[in-house]
Amino acid sequence: MTDTDTTRAIGRVAVVTGGSRGIGRAVAHRLGSGGAAVVVGYVAGAAAAEEAVSAITAAGGRAIAVQADITDEDAVAALFDQAEETFGGVDVVVNAAGRMALSPIADLDLAVLDQLHRTNVRGTFVVAQQAARRLRAGGSFVGFSSSVVGTQFPEYGAYAASKGAVEAMTMVLARELRGRDVTVNTVAPGPTATDLFLEGKTEEQVEALAMAPPLQRLGTPEDIAEVVAFLTSPEGHWVNGQVLRANGGMI
């Protein structure tokens, strides 16, 4: 990392939902190490959120943790209020919060489907709505999809459908923000070594997924965080309305 990389976000403020673990935590740490003040949004697990904050501040950054369920519009508005009150505004919004449920379509409990779509679709919409209202000029919104929208693996029907909705919002919001100097993009990771991904999978399943990309490994949260850092940087500001499949070369 060059000196420019570590200072280019100084003075900027980033809101990262799902920032207490996995990819969201890596994103929060990467943006914090780049000089941004970071609001670590989380829905549960206050200790993990505070650990994420401590890691950022220990490295010389500024960060706070704020609890908010992304499906609750009042809680999300309060999260953005706290970002503005503490740090003066919002320049970057990354919605890394999400939910996964795997099942054949024929067998999925519809209550689980409703919970999944409430978080992944409504939650993304609620966060995007606040981002659209509050991002300052030069700012960026990054949502999260999944490469499974393209790979279409069995048992991912409900999850892929919810992430397809996120992709559908991307260009629409980018066009709605015409003239604001704000970019909107979505990152669609492939198999990435997070607790959410590894949960419930056998070693054989994990190995098979690791060998699927031509690079023959799982992605890491840090791999994805670097993509987000680029998209939210001045260098990445010409990329707008896109879905970027960060997956090591999977279809």
Task: Please report, to the nearest 10 degrees, the dihedral formed by the alpha carbons of residues 60, 97, 181, 91 taken in order.
Answer: -30
C-alpha–C-alpha distance, residues 149 and 143, integer Å: 14
Residue 156 falls in the annotated catalytic set = no
Residue 195 burial (CB count, 10 A): 8
Which of 80, 87, 159, 197 does the annotation list as catalytic?
A: 159
Q: Ramachandran region of residue 147, left (φ > 0), alpha (ψ -120 to 50) or beta? A: alpha
- Residue 140: strand pairing partners: 92, 183
Give me the active site residues, please. Answer: 159
